[in-house]
Structure 1
Amino acid sequence: MTFVIPGHAFSGAGYELGHQHGARLGPQIRAFIADDLQRLNRILPAPVTLDALRPTLRDYHEAIARQLPRAIDELRGLAEGAQIPYEQALLLQLRREIAGYRKVPSRGDCTTFARNDPAEAVLAQTVDLNGRLETEAYVMRVSNAGDDGRELLLLTFTGLLGYLGVNSHGLAVGLNLVMAGRWRPGVPGYMAIRHLLETATSVEDCVDRLARLDLASSRSLTLCDARSAATVEIVDNVHRWRRGPELVHTNHLLDPELGPRDEINVFARNGSIARLSACAAALRALPAPAPVSAYFSILDGDPICVPPDGDDRREATVARVVLKPRSRELFIKLGAAPSAEARVFRMSA
């Protein structure tokens, strides 16, 4: 199936931005919520209700409000614009945390790489998710964001404040799920990425900003700006950084100290290792600079691209993304079909 990704332009920050987002996407947001509670009940082992989740949502609200009050303002605007309860707007940000991590066979959950040398800076990844979210994806172009009026290009999904992207300072951020440590109320990973893109100007700037956040769950982030690239693995707010001209990450922990805490099951680990090896080899073989199509070719290949198998509970590639920090561009192919056409989004100025 061929998917076409829409783009939406917004301006501002906090409540105003959230209200624009909610009002523009209101029917889509309400339909997604009505679809088995944001499709959570298609992937969870037992159904949940909003009422049953309220105590957990209250704990998350308090943790986020202490650290990112502007995000709470934006969520309130999103809720009012979309005409949904605030708790539903908050739950849209927490699908991954509510789902938790299941120790069952997994076929894939994002492959990410970065390259940064004098010839080129690029960050690229597959977006592997369960729940058939291709139809919920869109790109947000946000102008006059943050305290300095920066611009953001964000890939996101229905009602989510942001998933990955690049800002007008030339900072790009991608992510991988890693499964370790204790997951608890805190700042969800997607919201942390949005915060970095809205406040940071470089990879090094992100080091301090991330250290101030109490994250809800384990993650690996890959960051790339015009001059450097890095990955950071985060488990129980322990951060392990790696830097280099070429970096690849999948879903098993690479840091030798964090590795023994990895909860990934053996089947998923074997798949993660295979994707890491295939991606690293393909990247080494590709001279820089390379056309965007060559980077998509890496993401399109087996075993990196994971086609759907009809089971909503299992991860599949819903998008492939190439971010160019120096030119502030976001290229995206929606779905898993290699023949999908890439669409490019650029900053307005």
Structure 2
Amino acid sequence: MSRKRKPASLSDIATASGYSIATVSRAINHRGNVSPVAQRTIDALVAELGYHTTNACPPPKSTTIAILIPNLSNPFNSSVLEGIRNAATTHDLNVALLMVKETDTDIDYYLNMLKDANYCGVIALAALPDNQTAYQLNHEIPLVMCSEYLEGTEMSYVGIDDNIAAQKATDYLTRIGRRHIALINATTNHKYARQREAGYKQALRRAQLPTDTDLILHINSIRYNLALSKVTDLLRTRTEVDAIFAASDIFAIAALEAARHLGRQVPDDLSVMGFDNTFLATVVSPKLTTIKQPAYEIGHEACEILQEKIARKNAPERHEVLEASLLVREST
């Protein structure tokens, strides 16, 4: 008796056809533009190799969307979640939070997480590992990336231009006369961290200031205590630092405490710039100058796009880049 052949995966069809996973996904779902030749080739391979979906999201009867979130420690996410929840309520959708890891993930990790519940769509606040995984997941269940998204992707996302936002922050610090500007950043496995660092460096070049890599700190989690220790060490050893641009308000608040501990006066001796404009920015003293992300709007728009994808199988993928603005307060 011959062994039953294992059904082909989306990757198998892509490899056999010579087309990208994105093209294969569009052809199978009849979404977007696919050439007649590609459509015929992929259709033939689907029939020959026995491809079928794993039905991570069965039947449109489901009214629950899954929100993939890496942790609850970052207060920025609370406003994003509020925007998602309010949009979901408008469309009679329920919301389920799923805590996910951001490293060592692949398509099987996500499908195993989703298979036991009847979700009709996914909003990912956690970083997906690569475009191939995003394409495969979107093929199984409607997907929108929210806040953190993949570079060069065709999949739907809502966020800001982190590079431009970081340039705004650094440009302001150079305009007020700061010349030794440190960057307190997340680790560069995150798109937003890479882009903010690139924008910081670009603004320094524009101001004809050197980039000192020793003034760039990478912290692997958005946590106050981690940042406080590292910023304290930096300010103690590099006394010429006259400004700190922090890639989150939590990092900036840690910088305020480090300065206080070392007797540095903010903003006279040291300017501190945050990022996100969380509620914390106005409850600390001095109140925090920061980059305002439209967090609520990011979440709300992500849910609106997801609802459209759930309602219409052929809904186009959408990229929404919202504007971040500079809010000047007491810390600069």
Q: TM-score, normalised by structure 2?
A: 0.24
Larger strand fraction of residues = 1
Task: Mark the structure with the bigger radius of gyration.
Answer: 2
Larger helix fraction of residues = 2
Q: TM-score, normalised by structure 1?
A: 0.24
